[in-house]
Amino acid sequence: MLQGAAETVWEQVVGQWPDFSVEVVPEIDSTNSELMRRARAGQTAATLLVAERQTAGRGRLGRDWRSVGGAAPGVDSLTFSLGVALPAIDLSGLSLAVGLAVVESLHPALGLKWPNDVWLDGRKMAGILIETTAVGAQRFVVIGIGINILPRPETDLRTPPAALRDVLPDCSAASALCAVGPALAQAVQRFVESGFAAFQAGFQARDLLRGKPVQTQGGNALELRGIACGVDATGALLVHTERGVQAINSSEVSVRPLSPSPFTPPSGT
Ligand code: BTN
């Protein structure tokens, strides 16, 4: 079902990335887990691994990523990972750059909730999980992306997730893969050359938290409250608190919008 789309992605990317390959599997536990296993076994060529169905998809902060809702495999959702060996560069902000590639390649109505959730109309539509493992002097980086394609009415989540079909009625997992795959490859190459600074303005334009009261949990910013005021050149979330602007840079942090505002920041933030 996704094989044709995989070939289209490969044709678009291979010119700029000669060792790049795309592979589609009907079922796997997790595309992230599989690429991490392969890297530890010495297979480190750049690979985009697409699964029509995941049986043990993983999300951030140790959560599950469930994506099958009843339609045929490869229809409800798009699940794939890009595995790539990168030089020893600063990876801060990579997840934001990847999120930006996802939203810019799919639809203008999509926004980003720091660090890397893709939202539509106040609900999560896609998620990104980045994992790394050492391979000699290099680091093997696995960038996993899960995108809801069809709406899922029955779910145990408090807020049912959004789906790409909500804004693109004719889209499919295949069309989403054709859009996001090349954009992701290009974003990773640009990130390696220029770091997050090259994506900062683009992220600000899609930043859903900017100007909103937020509370953080976990990481280096336990229970911090304030007004989100954008991201810095490393991708750290800036929060205007009673103690001034704090930069939050841990991938272990979860941020949730608060209501009402914890305090009123000075004008101009
Ligand atoms: C999150 O929002 O918590 C991140 C979700 C990431 C899900 C994708 S689906 C493809 C890849 N394989 C996984 O097991 N997880 C990622």
Distance 261 CA to ligand 1 centre (A): 31
Instruction: Kindly report, as residue ranges, where domains of CATH 2.30.30.100 are found in the chain.
Output: 209-257
pLDDT of residue 72: 65
Distance 65 CA to ligand 1 centre (A): 6
Q: Note if the bond before 169 is cis, omega within 30 degrees.
A: no
pLDDT of residue 6: 98
Tens digit of pLDDT for each residue in 40-78? 999 999 999 999 999 999 998 888 898 655 566 667 999
Q: Which of 65, 128, 143, when mutated, tests ligand 1's pocket best, judged by the most ligand atoms within 8 Å of its CB?
A: 65
pLDDT of residue 267: 43
Domain 209-257 CATH (choose: 3.40.50.300, 3.40.50.2300, 2.30.30.100, 3.30.70.20): 2.30.30.100
Q: Can you give the pTM of this predicted structure?
A: 0.91
pLDDT of residue 268: 38
Residue 30 CB–ligand 1 contact under 6 Å: yes
pLDDT of residue 159: 73
128 neighbors 58 (Cβ within 8 angstroms): no
How far, CA to CA in Å, does 177 sit from each of 7, 93, 134, 213?
A: 10, 23, 28, 34
Q: Which atom of ligand 1 is nearest to the CA of 32?
A: 12
pLDDT of residue 137: 80
Strand partners, 247: 238
pLDDT of residue 140: 97
Length of the chain, please?
Answer: 269
Split the chain (269 residues) into runs of 10 and give each run's mean pLDDT: 95 95 97 97 96 94 75 80 94 96 98 94 96 90 97 70 96 97 98 96 97 82 84 94 89 70 46
Instruction: Kindly report, as residue ranges, where domains of CATH 3.30.930.10 are found in the chain.
Output: 2-205
pLDDT of residue 49: 98
Domain 2-205 CATH (choose: 3.40.50.261, 3.40.50.720, 3.30.930.10, 2.40.50.180): 3.30.930.10
Distance 84 CA to ligand 1 centre (A): 16
Tens digit of pLDDT for each residue in 234-245? 999 999 999 999
Cβ-based neighbours of 155, under 8 Å, separated by 6 or more: 69, 161
Residue ID of nearest Cα to ligand 1 atom 7: 146
Residue 115 CB–ligand 1 contact under 6 Å: no
Please, what's the b/e burial string for 35-58 (b: 16 or more CB within 10 A of its CB; e: otherwise)? bbebbeeeebebbbbbbbbbeebb
